[in-house]
Amino acid sequence: MIIVTGGAGFIGSNIVSALNARGIEDIIIVDDLADVSKLGNLSDLRTADYIDRDQFYCKSSEILSKMSISAVFHQGACSDTMAVDGREVMKSNYDSSKNILEACLENRVPLIYASSAAVYGNSERFEIEAANEAPLNVYAYSKYLFDRLVVRTVFKNHRNGVPQVVGMRYFNVYGPREAHKGQMASMVYQLFNQYKYNGVVRLFKGKGAIHDGGQQRDFVSVQDVVSINLYMFEHSHFSGIVNVGTGRARTFNDLALAVVNCCRAAGGEKRLTLNEAIQSGCITYFAMPADLQDRYQDFTEAALGSLRGSGYDSEILGLEDGVSSYVQMLLQNQSQPYSLN
């Protein structure tokens, strides 16, 4: 039996779908369905059981002790980087993760959990070293603190019988099953909806040495995120924290142009250069909100040494290929798009 927390969410439901594709259905979904918009992610999945998030977080050790669990994929979290209720974020992300870690260690159950590239803040280096970590918001801090706990209590102890523990520092993930996330959905999803329904995409203006739309992020397809999760599951000898990205930062302009040109190609229109897209009004810019400026990562780029060191050697999708695949899927399934005003 496998447990997936956040199993009705974006990455969690994609992991369950991939497990199903491998013939694995003995899966327990852990989630909070107070938000029923996530139900669409569950309708095509084959699972064995469901446990409410709060019940599992409070009784995780008891639950794991009574069942034969081969792994816990801990993907559940409050992922709102703009959240202002720090106590709630710490309770949801840090306290619950501590309980799950203790339960997995007690019962010798492998744990593969979601961390975040947000822990790096405005660092210019993205190797997994404490000196590079400087979280800018409470979401990032909750992930940072749990990573530090894992390093201190698991990786530095090397106790006999300790199960596999892998932390996955996700960079900017995009792909299917994210529609319920609203404003926290990926830029690919948001820009797609902007262009399809308004004919225009809006990006942040630049500041300082950064030109308009010149902010850079490492955008990674959920297809690769799932592949890496399942690799870790199948290689239980490896423990550690790994970056999960492409290893190449791309500008917001690159991303927007990829989305626009995929949509145009589907409508039989010619591809545009960046200058043409700007001149025609397809890409526009607006000032970053003042309250966001000091908490915003202008650049991220995954250093993949830790990931490749685990033995994972599969090719990772580049931006244009990943966006093209996703946009084509979105064009085919627009029954309930997330509308941006």
Residues belonging to the active site:
139, 181
Q: Quick one: which H or E segment has residue 49?
A: strand 49-52
Closest CA to 169 of 116, 94, 219: 116
Cα–Cα distances (Å) from 264 to 137, 190, 195, 329, in that order, read: 37, 16, 10, 15
Contact 312, 228 (CB under 8 A): yes
Q: Quick one: which H or E segment has residue 166?
A: strand 165-170
Q: Quick one: which H or E segment has residue 216?
A: strand 216-217
Secondary structure of residue 299 in the 3-state scheme: strand
User: Within a 10 A sphere around the Cβ of 92, how many other Cβ atoms?
Assistant: 23
Closest CA to 215 of 269, 146, 128, 285: 285
* Cα–Cα distance for residue pair 309/329, rounded to 1 Å: 33
Strands 250-251 and 216-217: antiparallel
